[in-house]
Structure 1
C-alpha cells in the first residue's frame, strides 16, 4: 500500500514540475510589416505653368521601417479624380521623366509599395499646365472639394459648401457658377458668376441626397466644368 502511494506521489510530482512536456522553445512572434511613408511631391510645384512638355516629376523618398525595397507608382491624369489616366509608371527612384501633350492641364500623384506589398496612401494631388503653342489663355484648373466631404451626412437644413480653384494665368479673375439639386446631374443654377468660394445652401429637404458642381470661369472666356459632388441630409 505504501509503495502504491509513493508511486502516485512521484507521478504527480513529475507532472507538476513539467515532466513529460516538451523542451522546445515557443516560436518567436512574427514581426508585423508596415507600409512605407507617403511620398510628398516636390516638382513641378502645384498649379505650375511648365515651360516645356518634357518634364521630370520629383518627390521626396519614402521611408520603410523594415528597410524593405520600395517601388513608386506614379499616375498622371487629365482630371483630378484620376478617371482619365494618361500615364503610369513604376520605378525605384523618386523621379519620373515623361513627355506630355502641349497646352493641357494635368494632375499627378504617387504612392509607395514595399517588397511585401504594403502600400502607402497616395500623395496629395498636384496639378500643372504644359506650355502650349500660341496659347493666349489657359483654362482654370478643375475645382477641388473642401466641404462637405463626398457622401457626408449633414444634420441641419442648411450647409456651407466650400471649394477651391486656381489658374496659371495669375492675372485672371475667377468666378463660379454653382449647380445644386436632388437630381444627378444637377441642373438648377443657384449661383451665377460668384467671386467667393463658398455658398450657404439653406432650406434643404430632410432625408435627401443633394448633388452639386462648380463651373470655374476666367475673365477671358475660359471655362472648366467640375465633377459632381454629393451629400445627404438627415
Structure 2
C-alpha cells in the first residue's frame, strides 16, 4: 500500500513539474501594398487651344496642380507633326519647355515618389504653339458632331458616317483640309498613332465592326498650321 502511495505521489510530481505550455506565435502583420502617388490635374496651356504665351520667344510654360504624394514629376511632350516625344524632369510646377513655334503638341505629367517605384500619369492634353505674333494662324479645333461622345450607333453596310464642324478666322471654310484618326485605342488616337484618313470635306464614312468601341479625332489644317479636336468615343450596335 505504501509502495502504491509513493508511486502516485511521484506521478503527480512529474505532471506538476512538466514544461510550461508554449506561448501562441505572434501574428505577422502583412506588408501594405505599395501605393502610387496621385495623378496631377493639368492647368495651362488649356486642352485643344492655341498657346500664345511664349517666354524668350521659343519657350512655353507648362502648368499643373502639384500633389503632396509626389516628390518629383516627369513631363512627356510629343510633337504631333514629327511624332517625336521628349521627356523632361521637373521638381514642381510650372516648367519651361523649349518648343518649335507653329507646331501642335501633346503633353502629360507623370507623378513620381521616392517611397515607391509606382507612378501615375495625368490625362493627355494638346495645344498649338503659335509663338510670337501668330495668333490668327491656327484653325479652331473641330467640333465633333456625329456620332456624339458615348453614343451607340447602327452601322449601314458595315460603315458609319463621321461628321464635324470646323472654322478658321482667317481662312475660308472651303479651303480647310482634314485628317481623321479612328481606332479602338484611346491613347493611340489621341497621339495620332493610328492611320490617318485625309479629307477635304467635314463628313466621311469609315468601316466598323459590330459590338466594338471606337475613338476618333479630327486634325483641321489651313495653309500654315493645324489644330486638333477632342477625342470622342462611340459603340457600334
TM-score normalised over the length of structure 2: 0.57
Instruction: Give the counterpart of 1:58 among 52, 58, 63.
Output: 63
Higher Cα Rg: structure 1 or 2?
2
Partner of 1:6: helix, strand, or coil? Answer: helix
Deviation at 1:97, TM superposition (A): 1.0
For structure 2, the residue ranges without an aligned partner over 5 or more in a row are 1-6, 184-193
For structure 1, the residue ranges without an aligned partner over 5 or more in a row are none
Q: Does 1:36 align with 2:41?
A: no
State the Cα deviation string for residues 111-142 of structure 1 (Å, max 9, x = none): 1011121211x212222222257866325669
Deviates more, 1:69-78 or 1:5-14: 5-14
Over aligned residue pairs, what C-alpha RMSD do you find? 5.4
**1:26/1:74 CA distance change after superposition, 3 Å:** same
Counterpart of 2:12? 6
CA distance in 2, matches of 1:56, 1:50: 11
Figure out how many residues of one structure are paired with residues of the other and give that number. 206
Counterpart of 1:106? 105
Q: Does 1:193 align with 2:193?
A: no
CA distance in 2, matches of 1:192, 1:157: 21
Name the structure, 1 or 2, with higher relative contact order (CA <8 Å, separation 6+): 2
CA distance in 1, matches of 2:226, 2:133: 19
TM-score normalised over the length of structure 1: 0.57
